[in-house]
Chains A and B, each alone.
Chain A
Amino acid sequence: MFKVIANTQLSPNVWRLDVMAPRIAQVRRAGQFVIVCRDENSERIPLTVADASPTEGWITLVIQAIGKSTRQLVELKPGEFIRDISGPLGRPTELAEAGAKAVCVGGGVGTGVVHPIAQALHAKGVNVVSVIGGRSKPWVFFEAELKRYGQVVVCTDDGSYGRKGFVTDAVKEQLEAGGVNVVYAVGPVPMMRAMANLTKPYGVHTVVSLNPIMVDGTGMCGGCRVTVGDQVKFACVDGPEFDGHQVDFDNLWDRLGMYKPEEKNALELFQHKCQCNQ
């Protein structure tokens, strides 16, 4: 059992959960994830470890509430428990060398995933510029956290906060200015695809973190298979981070939609139940 110690809403659909998981807090590294299973009948959901304190024993999970399972997770109050958390899983981020310049791009919930990467890069002595975005001001989060590791550029689609426009525009400026050695981009599939397309002509190595549908997270089920270059890889053990210029984003996007009707059905039943209980 894993005790929730804090639950903070970060944006209209993103929450931050701090959970006691001492062993994982001790050994996790940037880029790794855990599999969370809230209860006996819950799904196993992969979530990146966004932050951790090895001394205090907590880990941070940044969760976008979209379906039934994620909505149930973000409803957890401090003092309540998550039944199962296993990890850390996946390969740690391949960090750029000290003195290099890295641009860390976060879109939506991906900002939570990019946070530990920026943190680890900074600790290694890499010059970090973070570019984060949301549709408007309430959707932007982790600006202060990322500022600890370097410059932060905030973009909103409507210009209500930071600069108006997409993260791609801000990253393009960074690329044009030169000196960028690597880009780490995490966000919705269309954003990561756009980012990979943007950086390719500049020849800048671009790392993306993929979040396909998974069951066990240990390489056992193969449900998370993604096409990278001409090879089939398991995101859980070979990734979750891959060379963005090699990833078949169409296939990833497609497979992410495999359970759309079932997810909708489960969510509707869940919402109906919630209404009845009110």
Chain B
Amino acid sequence: MSITKPAVKDRMAIERCVMVEQDPLERAKNFNEVNKGLALETALRESQRCLECKKPSCMEGCPVSVNIPRFIGHVMEGDFAAAAESLALDNALPAVTGRVCPQETQCECHCIRGKKGKPVAIGYLERFVADWSRENLKKDMEKAPATGKSVAVVGAGPAGLTAAGELARKGYDVTVFEALQKAGGVLVYGIPEFRLPKKIVQAEVDRLTRAGVKIETDSIVGRTWTLDELRQKFNAVFISNGAGLPVFMNVPGESLKGVYSANEYLTRVNLMGAYKFPECDTPIIKGKRVCVVGGGNVAMDAVRTAKRLGAEEAIIIYRRGKAEMPARVEEVHHAEAEGIRFEMLTAPLEVVGDENNWVRGLKCQKMELGEPDASGRRRPVPVAGSEYVIDCDVIVVAIGTRANPLLTATCPEMKLNPKGNIIVDENGMTSIPGVFAGGDIVRGAATVILAMGDGKRAATAIDNYLKK
């Protein structure tokens, strides 16, 4: 199919497409994906909204510098295979990022069309191309000749998978060590099926294994293997083991039954399939009224999961206002449509238990916004005398994660910052020669795309290092 591109003034007349979604009331009862993707005609039409700017500002906001006008240009021509090829050069996991990236703060916010009207739906188009490619192209990775050198990757999350893919493409023999029983990291244990179907992650993992990447599951570096052993067996190591240590609220009552970290709650449901209990063996406390503390994407995932598990009411408790929530705008909109209640400017004080030590409620305090803090957001200040109890039987704590010390504790010579994150130089190399790191273990809890960017840069740096 080859299509002539419309004139610029005709492009201006096209309105932004609307993503087809499952009906909110229906989807709040199932785990199927919310967004259904763009139909071919819709994608074509949306691509025609792109003005193919000479100096495209959309690319500036992309952590992996996807050449956005180039791939959209191919879509506009109806050459989806070329679009897919173009995307693949910049982004190892487009089907994932097309679904989970915060486009509104990265690429789409820079789009010139957004100045007067709505930006081009870059995320939707990226997803369209990736999905089309997965279903229509059975093309394996093109690899450079084997270098004869090997690289170990620690952790099969977004950073690790990206690095593994890039390194395999450059001709390295890559082995990924994954602690859990499945590859994917946060993409399989954290992000729910209704936002990122697991078969999409699996397809990406399969593509890597077809390219010769070996994935060793059930392998915990720091326990099953030491970093020193990996350094002896491989020419270089990339550490991308994530920020897998949950932060709790540190309020009284947090050890009561019915209090979960978001990590545990989501892992039970996503990785272990607790929503299918007893077909899957891992149980979860479903809860009639569920409070989720936090305002990020993880909190949105948890609260929408609670609703899908059958909660009559699922409530977000956040100490700042809606505008300050770090979650993706689309997730907040989806949550609102699904009937999630938002208790804003509310901070938890204490978990209240019943006589059998089950959660009965969450004692909270109202806040008001004061002066901006270090993050630039207005600092929440408690309102005196505003304490009240929200009745609930399950509480999910989604206020962030810290660096998991399992690996770093076993290599004291590696330099860490005071928070326990690995310190790297401008090439992503740690204080140990030949050992690189990226993703949340370096940044603290961040996004999938930033982790992928680290993986991509590290692969280049490792390639340069090993070529020396």
Contacts and interface: CB of A to CB of B under 8 A. Distances in A.
Interface of A: 23-24, 27, 37, 41-44, 68-69, 83-89, 215-216, 218-223, 225, 227, 232, 237, 251, 254-255, 257-259, 262-263, 265-266, 269
Nearest to A41: B280
B281 A69 contact: yes
Contacts of B225: 23
Contacts of B260: 223
B255 A251 contact: yes
A41 B179 CA distance: 18
B257 interface: yes
Contacts of A220: 244-246, 263, 267, 404
Contacts of A257: 257
A263 B283 contact: yes
B242 to A, nearest CB: 8
B330 to A, nearest CB: 27
Interface stretch (B33-41, B121-129, B141-149, B212-220): B212-220
Contact of A44 (B272, B285, B404): B272
A87 B223 contact: yes
Interface of B: 179-181, 217-220, 223-225, 244-246, 248, 254-255, 257-258, 260-261, 263-264, 267-268, 272-273, 276-283, 285, 357, 404-406
B198 to A, nearest CB: 12
B278 A218 contact: no
A42 B257 contact: no
Nearest to A21: B218
B183 to A, nearest CB: 13
A259 B394 CA distance: 13
B255 A225 contact: yes
Given A88-B223, A227-B255, A258 B285 contact: yes
Contacts of A216: 179-180, 244, 267
Which of A24, A88, A220, A225 neighbours the largest number of chain B CB atoms within 10 Å of its CB?
A220
Contact of B224 (A41, A84, A86, A269): A86
Given A221-B263, A222-B248, 6 more contacts: A41-B280, A42-B281, A86-B180, A216-B244, A254-B257, A258-B285
Contacts of A219: 244-245, 404-406
B354 to A, nearest CB: 12
Contacts of B244: 216, 218-220
A43 B280 CA distance: 8
A222 B245 CA distance: 8
A153 to B, nearest CB: 35
B403 to A, nearest CB: 10
Contacts of B405: 219, 237
A254 B259 CA distance: 13
A274 B219 CA distance: 34
A116 B277 CA distance: 35
A223 B223 CA distance: 20
A85 B281 contact: no
A86 B246 contact: no
Contacts of B245: 219-220
A41 B267 contact: no
Contacts of B406: 218-219, 237
6 interchain residue pairs of minimum CB distance: A262-B283, A221-B264, A86-B218, A220-B244, A222-B261, A84-B181
Contacts of B272: 43-44, 215
B281 A266 contact: yes
A23 to B, nearest CB: 6
A220 to B, nearest CB: 4
A75 B233 CA distance: 38
A41 B281 contact: yes
A86 B219 contact: yes
A218 B221 CA distance: 11
Which of A68, A86, A222, A266 neighbours the largest number of chain B CB atoms within 10 Å of its CB?
A222
